[in-house]
Amino acid sequence: MTRAEVTRAQVTRPQVTRAHAITTVGLVHIYRSEGHDVAALSGVDLRVRAGEVVGLLGPSGSGKSTLLALLGGLFRPSAGKIFVGDRELSALTAAELDDFQARDTSLMLQGARRNFVPYLTVRENVEFAQAQARRLGAQVDPVERTLGLVGASDFADSRLGRLSQGQVQMAALAVAMAPSPGVLLADEPTSALDRRAREVIIEALLRINAEQGTTVVVVTHDPEVAARLPRTVTIRDGRIGGEGRSGQEYAVVTADGFVPLPVHLREELPPGTLLRIERVENGYLLAPEVLGHEVLGHEVLGHEASGHEVSGHEPDGATGA
């Protein structure tokens, strides 16, 4: 499916009441490593609309998988709040969180085989994954429809040892969709796949969103995967460092006024550079302060430093301010 087809499907499909919006407010997560506190997330403000498809990008160690795990309720943040629908996750009791994870959200773990009971067939794994949601009275799709939705019907009665890597990933997606969740969280679902298998998984994710209305959040480091998604959010150093909309990259102003530089400007404007910000006719001008041939404390490499004009236009639905 193209980005335009996904957008049209999101507009024309019936409203799915179990699709949930996601909001994080000042999200911080600190963990201990070798006797030191490490901040995996440092104040993340994120908004995902109900029924939206969003990719989380960033280098290894940037905090994107930690953010996904927090959204899935695997552990509680050190500070800040997470809202999924009208629920604030850190306010839930252990029993309420178990119910929420059983029927409202699914987390597809990186490494597809971690999502299965290894001695069961694909079909039996899907049945097992939706059992708790059924016991809680949730309305779930029939097993056959779930298998068909992700393209796993042809090997539904096979065990994992007989499947290709791409088929294992498709089966893991079927297991994640078994309880018909309102939110699907997928951690690197296309890693270790060849180009053809990767395309099949991307198509399945977009089809899940278009046909079910499920809110889909995908962690990826693959720019080709990101290019297929209607919206991307880049995590850098535990913060939101940028957003992509229809191939256009944007910096995001955080709640505390922090504006991360786009990656392609970091070498030109190293840490400590003083920037002068001026309003111009159609936006803002970011101009390094220049003394002779130096940017206050930093040499200009072979040319005068020039200002970067930033458009004042903000894309529809931009977040993070």
pTM of the model: 0.79
For the chain, the C-alpha Rg in angstroms (whole number) is 22
Q: Which two tokens stand for residue 110?
A: 């990186």
The contacts of residue 57 (CB under 8 Å, 6+ apart) are: 64, 220, 221, 226, 232, 233, 234, 235, 244
Of residues 239 and 10, more confidence is placed in: 239
Residue 7 CB burial class (10 angstroms; 0-12, 13-18, ≥19): middle
pLDDT of amino acid 308: 55
Please give the distance of CA 163 from its chain centroid, rounded to a whole number: 27
Indicate the range of 48-62, 69-83, 178-192, 236-250 predicted with least confidence. 236-250
Strand order in the sheet with 231-236: 105-108, 183-187, 215-219, 53-57, 231-236, 239-245, 248-250
Domains of the chain, by residue range, sit at: 3-236, 261-311
Mean pLDDT of 55-69: 88
Q: Give per-residue pLDDT as tens, 111-147.
A: 888 999 999 999 999 999 999 888 888 888 999 999 9
Q: Say what percent of the chain tops pLDDT 70.
A: 83
β-pairing, 183-187 vs 215-219, is: parallel
Distance between CA atoms of residues 128 and 151, nearest Å: 19
Q: Give per-residue pLDDT as tens, 176-198.
A: 999 999 999 999 999 888 899 99
Q: 3-236 domain in CATH 1.10.10.410? A: no
Q: Give per-residue pLDDT as tens, 36-49.
A: 888 889 889 999 99
Q: Give per-residue pLDDT as tens, 238-279.
A: 888 888 886 677 877 777 777 777 767 777 778 888 888 888
